[in-house]
Amino acid sequence: MDKKARSDYKRLITDRTSGSGDLLLKLNEFCKKYFHDIEQPLVFIEQAQKHFSPFQNIQEYLESLKTTIRSKKRLHKFFDEYRLNNKTAYEKIFINALPFLKNKKSILTISNSRTVFEIINKLSAVNTVKLTICESRPKLEGRILAKKFAKRKIKIELITEAMASAFASKCDCALIGADTILKDGSVVNKVGSLQLALLCKHYKKPFYVVAEKSKFRRNQKFIQKKELQDEIWKSPPEGITIKNFYFEKIPGTLITKIFYDK
């Protein structure tokens, strides 16, 4: 790869604020632009699989890309078809979710989910929506989602996760994306999602998940990975232990419904 391609790839693998759906779209665009210059494509795919190991949808995409290379099919067609299929997936998710969301005017969410963005964007054409977004510490991805919606005629409130209780009591429902959906029906998503699910349970509000079918796993394994403590507190006093996790598991018993592209 040339210098520009290496720089773009480094930016991609160090992205800690995009959801898995956005990451996969960016990876597909990167591959479409640069893949013809990669000398050892299968080695590149194996390295990418390690970089994106937490994301089931990206793993499946890379496996499909590997199969396409071995079968000597046209790669440009593969990249274009992924983009088209991705757009179709959001349409199907929205169709499945609409009967449950069409009367929901106040929706609570967290972090920066591409699927949530697409579904709320489509819903706003059917209904007047007010969206409350938890900013999602420590990387503040919720601000990124808020900026996306700021360009559209959707009323946005940005709050910290600590404020979620007051807003959960007044919302019509909570709607989140998913990084992974495990075999037992539990969902892995950004830390803070479990809090929203518990609050919805307490206040008797629906708690919905929207995700592509590629997010489903055949197992129930989830290992919570520690992230850099500097993101929470760079120089804490001696004796203070910092805990920083990006993802957590929401039990299926707290989830009202999962909408996906079936």
All structural domains of the chain with their residue ranges = 3-85, 100-259
pLDDT of residue 56: 81
What string of DSSP letters covers 74-99?
Answer: -HHHHHHHHHHHHHHHHHHHHHHHHH
Measured CA to CA in angstroms, residue 203 lies from 105, 175, 232, 257 at distances of 17, 15, 30, 17
For the chain (length 262 residues), average pLDDT per consecutive 10? 89 90 92 90 93 87 92 85 88 97 97 96 94 96 95 92 96 96 96 98 98 89 91 94 96 98 89
pLDDT of residue 179: 93
pLDDT, one tens digit per residue, over 181-218 is 999 999 999 999 999 999 999 999 999 999 999 899 88
pLDDT of residue 86: 84
With beta carbons less than 8 A apart as the criterion, state whether 127 and 162 touch: no
pLDDT of residue 143: 96
CA–CA dist 262, 256 (Å, integer)? 17
pLDDT of residue 219: 85
What's the pTM?
Answer: 0.87
pLDDT of residue 21: 87
- Summary count for the chain: helices (H), strands (E): 9, 9
Per CATH, which fold does 100-259 belong to? Rossmann fold (3.40.50)
